[in-house]
Amino acid sequence: MRNGIHMLIIDDEEAVRDSMSQVLVKEGYAAKAAETGREGMALFSQETFEVVFLDLRLPDIDGLSLLRQMREASQETPVVIITAYGSIESAVEAIKLGAFEYLAKPFTPEELRVVTKKALDNRMMILENILLRRELKARREFDQVVGQSQAMRNVLDIVARAGPTDSAVLITGESGTGKELVAREIHGRSLRHSQPFVTVDCGALVEPLLEDELFGHARGALAGARETKHGRFELANGGTIFFNEIAHLSLPSQSKVFRAIQEREVTRLGSARPIKIGIRMIASSSANIAQAVNHGAFREDLFYRLSVVPIHLPPLRDRKEDIPPLVDYFLQKYGRRAAKTISGVSNRAMLALTEYDWPGNIRELENTIERAVALCRGSEIEMEDIVSHGISMGIPALTWAGGQFKTLSDIEREYIKAVLRDQEGNRSRAATILGINRKTLWAKIKKYGLERRDSK
């Protein structure tokens, strides 16, 4: 079966229904047939079909009227009209009303196969366009996985072996280590690489809206819902769905996600029609999910469902040999964007870059290089380009630039102050970068008298 692709045939001639069903089933599709318009519409309302074949001349309902109902309920489902040779004018009118194509009786099995393939391609294009429009504002350039350390070679070896399979993958590691890049690399190496890669940012979605985002809704299901919304699961059908920071999901949401991947179907809010899905599941977490399972904060069944292939990304401080190639990569990337020719980084600046522990990992390093490229006056990145914005190099670089040693308390105070300033006083983000909890950060803010200056 081709990822559970379902066809609906509505025709009052039994011979037509049977012959079409045989051809479609032989091609690997699932086919259901209805003799009347009412029977067909009932099936259409209960299930999701990838393609509908509709005879215009039905004993109980006008075919054009049925077409209008179907188009109102599901814009993305292609409807292929079946018509007798003498009724081509009606078929043309149907196409004007939104039908995808028509088949004139009698038609050959090859003609049926060709129009089915075209209809499925059209449906996929519509769904991909929906996804692209929805993500247009959030689009950004995704980088490749860069690393030459033994730790990253081990990671890439697992990626290469797991990529072509359909196994679920759980990627763990600190924030900023490149978990989404690895997820995209796995998708790129899979048999689903030509299909959608859909991201669900669990940490950014407000819980009441999460279900609507994942499963979508039918037209009229919610206040102001004037059209059908396609959920992330539906948009990922045939491809990969990536749950970024899945530990942020509440237990009720975890239950719904587990049910969707276990039963391979979802239902839009306000609809009774289940939608069959064939997807690959990849998830990431900065938190220790195994520990969350022990504490009852994460479902054990979902954890085991996700962690068929576990991948752990080490922090940048544990693979400092990857810093120079990452610096070179980001220099080229942001040099092109800024239309600047940057030959490299001075020895002193590179020493500072490799000595720093990078609590924000690759994300912090990338921001630092982007800023350095923007501020660089010459063809080489110098120390002053790195430290000019405060947070970028942390305290070691600031100390060397001044040529004097400071006490540990002075260094810690300056660093916390720089992080708070860079994060515009947001203590949650600052605590994450510093690697401490909010309570500890608040204690240090009071200790160093930063209460009134943390956002300046």
Q: Where exactly are the structural domains of the chain?
A: 6-126, 150-314, 317-447
**Confidence (pTM):** 0.61
What pLDDT is attached to residue 87? 65
Q: What is the CATH number of domain 317-447?
A: 1.10.8.60
What pLDDT is attached to residue 1? 45
The top-level CATH class assigned to 150-314 is alpha beta
Phi, psi (degrees; rounded to nearest 5) at 108: -90, 160
- Using CA atoms, how far apart are residues 447 and 434, in angstroms rounded to an integer? 16
What pLDDT is attached to residue 387? 64
What pLDDT is attached to residue 395? 42
Two domains, one topology: 6-126 and 150-314: yes
What pLDDT is attached to residue 76? 82
What pLDDT is attached to residue 200? 92
pLDDT tens by residue, 202-245: 888 877 788 888 988 877 667 666 677 888 998 898 899 999 99
The top-level CATH class assigned to 6-126 is alpha beta
What pLDDT is attached to residue 456? 42
- Using CA atoms, how far apart are residues 170 and 357, in angstroms rounded to an integer? 25
Low-confidence ranges of the chain (pLDDT < 70): 1-4, 85-88, 130-144, 220-221, 223-226, 387-408, 422, 452-456
- Return contacts of 388-397, CB within 8 angstroms, 24+ apart: 389/422, 390/418, 390/421, 390/422, 391/418, 391/419, 391/421, 391/422, 392/367, 392/368, 393/352, 393/353, 393/356, 393/368, 394/356, 394/357, 394/359, 394/418, 396/352, 396/355, 396/356, 397/352, 397/356
What pLDDT is attached to residue 241? 96
